[in-house]
Amino acid sequence: MVAGVATVDSITNPDKMFTDGGINVIIDRVTKADGDQKTVTLSDGREIPYDKLLLGTGASPAVIPIEGHDLEGVFTLRSAPDAEKIRNFLEERKAKKLVLIGAGFTNLEVATLLCETKPDHYDVTVIEILGYPLPLMVDSDMGAQVQEHLVEKGFTMKMDQRVAKILGQNGVVSGVELASGETIEADMVLLAVGVRQNLELAKDLGLELGKFGIKVNKFLETSVPDVMAAGDCVEKYNLVTKKPVAGQLRGPAVIQGRLAAKRLAGYEIEFPGVLNNSAVRLFDKYIGSVGLTEEEARREGLEILCTTVTSRSKHGMIPGVKPWTLKLIFDKASHKVIGGQIVSDSVAPVKEIDTINALILGEKTIPELTTLMCAGNPDCSSEPSLEPITICAEQALQKLRT
């Protein structure tokens, strides 16, 4: 939407889809929720009674409390209205110099699409407090491939840099000053430095909260009877570490929403935890990740073993063959695969990240991965002899012996 690739109508579901299905849709702000009376109150004072309440209040973009964050032309992006505001600003101001604070996938994807729709128009600078792009998705060795590609595409990458303040003139953004003292000119600044859970109603209801949001059991039930919660506002558990995490991605939110409905209908299906599966396209690179990165695993105190293999998107003799790199992270004690990352020059291999996801869910080990047999075809997969999951596992097997 920001880049004009999609319209707001094309990415939003019409209310009619719900009302035609017999669902009541109310567009209003809930100002209060009462778990004893089992009512919610709307902004006009109307009380809506419930037998069961499901909170899906989501999260809002975090704003770093630095000077200039409230200047005109400084944006965060979370919802369709945010995208409309950014699009309007870009068009009205004919903005060219874009500064992205945060090198996560939201910022980088938006900048990619803007540059693709208006080649040679934008001058993009990316500022990241950590040492490489996509630091929550991949390790530095895989991130280096991404960084190199973005630099090839004309981005200025300011990694390992802290923002001191956002500069403005007449209330409008004009630049960003780094802690190093360097100043970067900006017509627009996009801030993507994480999110905070929307917990006002949860607090109103007296729900038990954790470090990362509303505490729920495996059936998404909160500490207050007949109140469930799901999605970004809920604290989740990392499936590998079993520790609480935020896990704020759309996939888990949708799965949790549907799981809550099934629970209310009488099913007893537990939410298994999250592995933070994610994928993004940045120009000609497709990046996917799942589970723990090497750096996360080390922070958790795990002794690990990593292997990286570069393979081919098609059999070598087929025209259009492209390289792709897979990195797998194994727990040295249990030999189980606990994470995976892919950087690919074509789209098909990136979805192998879901194979890694299934292997982690199945608690598969290095020896078991050496016998994985994938569907093979000259035009749409690596040769069986170059299938990188099995080769990564074989390399890990050899490392275990040394």
Q: How far is the CB of 271 from another protein (least distance, A)?
A: 12
Alpha helices in 66-208 (DSSP H): 80-93, 105-117, 140-152, 200-205
Q: How far is the CB of 104 from another protein (least distance, A)?
A: 18
Residue among 389, 384, 376, 278 at smallest CA distance from 327 = 389
CA distance 165 to 98: 16
Binder of another protein out of 257, 321, 348, 368 (CB under 8 A):
257
* Between 79 and 334, CB nearer to another protein: 79
Q: Which two tokens stand for residue 353?
A: 């990240």
Backbone angles phi, psi at 213, to 5 degrees: 135, -160
Asked if 58 interacts with another protein (CB under 8 A), we say yes
Asked if 49 interacts with another protein (CB under 8 A), we say yes
Asked if 268 interacts with another protein (CB under 8 A), we say no
Q: How far is the CB of 180 from another protein (least distance, A)?
A: 37
Binder of another protein out of 28, 67, 284, 379 (CB under 8 A):
28
Asked if 344 interacts with another protein (CB under 8 A), we say no
Binder of another protein out of 12, 88, 156, 334 (CB under 8 A):
12
Number of Cβ within 10 Å of residue 9's Cβ equals: 8
* Between 249 and 397, CB nearer to another protein: 249
Binder of another protein out of 16, 22, 268, 320 (CB under 8 A):
22
Instruction: Identify residues 195-224 at the interface with another protein (CB under 8 A).
Output: 201
Asked if 246 interacts with another protein (CB under 8 A), we say no
Residue among 247, 253, 378, 238 at smallest CA distance from 320 = 378
* Between 52 and 121, CB nearer to another protein: 52
Asked if 107 interacts with another protein (CB under 8 A), we say no
Asked if 26 interacts with another protein (CB under 8 A), we say yes
With contacts defined by CB under 8 A, how many residues of the chain interact with another protein? Answer: 48
Instruction: Identify residues 293-312 at the interface with another protein (CB under 8 A).
Output: none
Q: How far is the CB of 191 from another protein (least distance, A)?
A: 20
Interacting residues of 115 by C-beta distance below 8 A, sequence separation 6+? 121, 122, 124, 153, 154, 283
Candidates 42-50, 331-339, 340-348, 362-370 — which segment interacts with another protein by CB under 8 A? 42-50
CA-based end-to-end distance of the chain:
52
Asked if 11 interacts with another protein (CB under 8 A), we say yes
Binder of another protein out of 2, 3, 40, 184 (CB under 8 A):
40
Residue among 310, 302, 294 at smallest CA distance from 332 = 302
Binder of another protein out of 3, 35, 57, 287 (CB under 8 A):
57
Alpha helices in 118-165 (DSSP H): 140-152
Strands of the sheet containing 337-344, edge to edge, are 278-282, 285-291, 337-344, 323-331, 304-312
- Contact status, residue 48 vs residue 38, Cβ threshold 8 Å: no
CA distance 326 to 177: 37
CA distance 72 to 308: 45
Binder of another protein out of 35, 104, 135, 231 (CB under 8 A):
231
* Angstrom distances, CA of residue 114 to CA of 6, 7, 12, 99, 256: 12, 14, 21, 13, 32
Binder of another protein out of 2, 54, 166, 188 (CB under 8 A):
54
What is the CB-side half-sphere exposure of residue 172 using CA atoms within 13 A?
A: 8
Residue among 149, 30, 57, 159 at smallest CA distance from 104 = 159
Asked if 80 interacts with another protein (CB under 8 A), we say yes
CA distance 41 to 64: 32
* Between 258 and 299, CB nearer to another protein: 258
Candidates 49-57, 211-219, 289-297, 381-389 — which segment interacts with another protein by CB under 8 A? 49-57
- Contact status, residue 109 vs residue 100, Cβ threshold 8 Å: no
* Between 184 and 253, CB nearer to another protein: 253
Asked if 278 interacts with another protein (CB under 8 A), we say no
* Between 272 and 362, CB nearer to another protein: 272
Asked if 23 interacts with another protein (CB under 8 A), we say yes
Contact residues: another protein, CB under 8 A = 8, 11-13, 18, 21-30, 33, 40, 42, 48-58, 79-81, 201, 230-233, 250, 253-254, 256-258, 260-262, 264-265
